Structure 1
Amino acid sequence: MESLCRACKYAVRTSGRLMGVTIGAMLEEIQGLYQQHHQPCFLYLSSEVIKIFGSDPSCANYLKSLIEALFMHTTRILTNIQEFTARPDIADDCFLLASRCIRYCPQLFIPSPVFPSIVDCSMIGITIQHREASNSILTFLSDIFDLANSNKGEQYLPIRDSVIIPRGAVITRILIAALTGALPSSRLETVTYTLLTLSRSYGAQAVEWAKKSVSLIPLTAVTEIERSRFLKALSDAASGGDINALAVPIDELSDVCRRNRTVQEIVQGALRPLELNITQ
């Protein structure tokens, strides 16, 4: 199966749009085989197809069908963190594909009915311990938050906001949990960037989400001063400050919350990153 997909990938890469009508037949096969075998190589092959054909209007119907079929099926597989952990390659390639869709065919992906589902799926998987899968999920989220800076992305901001704003408080809580111990400290840079892009995109609203999340952490774990420094960094990001200059107070909060096992358990018990529906 891997070898077959690799051959198709090179065919797409070398022939490009010269493939003509054969691309439609290939995409139909991908959909059927993925639903039957659940192999991540079909997602990787689809990423190559999106890169080459994403902006081609003549392929729009084929690609829309492909995107919806692949993502719908994947979200039915990855329904909890245990499934993410058991299938990290699918998670990795799924969100690499989603990021590629944002870049090359936002007109097909963002208005589609699977967009909210894939955002929900990403929230479940943020804390996966697999490095590549975790990075793919976090990059996908930051790509969504940075949509205004992408090619032709600005026109889809109302759709994006209708999906992200109702989920914003939960996404923020999970990202802060990831920052403070749910993910290894080696992921800190990626988590920090995702959180700061969220703040930059949603301004005071994102800072308020963060304030509610941080308030869940007991003062025995984090002092008011440490909370305030962290929130000020997010507020500065929301006001257009240089993201690279704001990492220090975020790193400090992360270090404080990871200083020993007891504190880390207190923080994670308060933030509960695996629970998507808790009252803040």
Structure 2
Amino acid sequence: VGLYAAHGHSCFLYLGSILVDEYASEPGCVTGLLAMLEAFTQPTFILLTQPNGFRDHPDTVDDWFRLCARFLQRAPVAFLQCSALNTILECGLQACMLDHKEANAAVLKFFQDLLEAGRKHEDRPNFETRHTLVVNIFNTHGESLVSNLINAAIFILPQYMHHDVAETFFQIMQFDRPKFCLWLEAKLKVLPTKNSGGVEAITQTELVEFHKAVTQAERTKEITRALVDFSRFFS
């Protein structure tokens, strides 16, 4: 941790994820692993919130969110209650718009795993706790996530990266489809409908059709296709 704080090499985050993989299933180790995560958090936040921090340090973004995803998989309740979580989520909401394939995929996988932590394994004794914690996070940050991902898909990310956005939308709908429908509608209402030349880029009918295509999709592939087609209106 001290070396990471001094030098910022993301390989230390990768090593941390290996430790979580190996030891987070041992109850006596979770407290120490969370202390490691929290010690990593401040230098990571400082690095990434510098001007162009996310773009200049994609390896850190990648390894950081892989580490967080490991916690969600191995010790979800402890992770969801840790003091570093809000900082991690705030970074994730910005990093989900990063035009870097591996880093962006790691961030979106983190959000997908977060949603699954509140939805799957209902037979386990910690399900109610997990579900309640994730619902609170979802209600606080879900709309921002949807908004940022629409911005990313339309204005930032190349089309070959739309699949991960689509998978995240699909997971959100699996978790709470009615809320997703409302949040997507709200975002579409504030999108610019004219291009830089003042010419109408997209009609109200096309916005409605996109909303319908996404919210009624039964497979990720259908959402990906809708995102690709929709982004062309703004290119």
| TM-score normalised to structure 2 length | 0.87
Q: Matches of 2:130 and 2:41 in 1, distance apart?
A: 19
Q: Matches of 1:211 and 1:71 in 2, distance apart?
A: 34
- Confirm whether residue 223 of structure 1 aligns to residue 203 of structure 2: yes
Unaligned residue ranges in structure 2 (runs of 5+): 194-199
Deviation, structure 1 residue 43 = 0.4
Q: Residue 61 and residue 252 in structure 1: after superposition, are their counterparts in 2 closer, same or farther (change >3 A)?
A: closer
Unaligned residue ranges in structure 1 (runs of 5+): 1-30, 265-280
Alignment of 1:116-131 (within 5 A): 116-131=86-101
Q: Residue 149 and residue 72 in structure 1: after superposition, are their counterparts in 2 closer, same or farther (change >3 A)?
A: farther
Alpha-carbon contact 1:199-1:234 (below 8 Å) kept:
no
Q: Matches of 1:129 and 1:245 in 2, distance apart?
A: 21
Q: Residue 44 and residue 130 in structure 1: after superposition, are their counterparts in 2 closer, same or farther (change >3 A)?
A: same
Tell me the residue number matched to 2:69: 99
- Confirm whether residue 243 of structure 1 aligns to residue 187 of structure 2: no
Deviation, structure 1 residue 130 = 1.7
Alignment of 1:85-96 (within 5 A): 85-96=55-66
Amino acid in the other structure paired with 1:246? E
Deviation, structure 1 residue 61 = 2.1
Q: Matches of 1:91 and 1:137 in 2, distance apart?
A: 8
User: CA offsets, 1:204-237, max 9 Å, x none?
Assistant: 1111111011112244222233322322244335
Amino acid in the other structure paired with 1:181? F
Amino acid in the other structure paired with 1:149? K
Amino acid in the other structure paired with 2:34? K
Deviation, structure 1 residue 243 = 2.5
Alpha-carbon contact 1:98-1:140 (below 8 Å) kept:
yes
Deviation, structure 1 residue 245 = 5.9
Q: Matches of 1:139 and 1:201 in 2, distance apart?
A: 15
Alpha-carbon contact 1:84-1:125 (below 8 Å) kept:
yes
Q: Residue 188 and residue 226 in structure 1: after superposition, are their counterparts in 2 closer, same or farther (change >3 A)?
A: same
- Confirm whether residue 53 of structure 1 aligns to residue 23 of structure 2: yes
Alignment of 1:117-156 (within 5 A): 117-147=87-117, 148-149=119-120, 155-156=129-130
When the two chains are superposed, the root-mean-square deviation of aligned CA atoms in Å is 2.1
Would you say how many aligned residue pairs link Structure 1 and Structure 2?
225
Deviation, structure 1 residue 37 = 1.4
Worse-superposed segment, 57-66 or 37-46: 57-66
Q: Matches of 1:158 and 1:72 in 2, distance apart?
A: 27
Alpha-carbon contact 1:222-1:257 (below 8 Å) kept:
no
Amino acid in the other structure paired with 1:107? V
Deviation, structure 1 residue 118 = 0.4
Q: Matches of 1:246 and 1:191 in 2, distance apart?
A: 12
Tell me the residue number matched to 1:172: 146
Tell me the residue number matched to 2:178: 204
The share of aligned pairs that are identical, in percent, is 26
Q: Matches of 2:31 and 2:183 in 1, distance apart?
A: 38
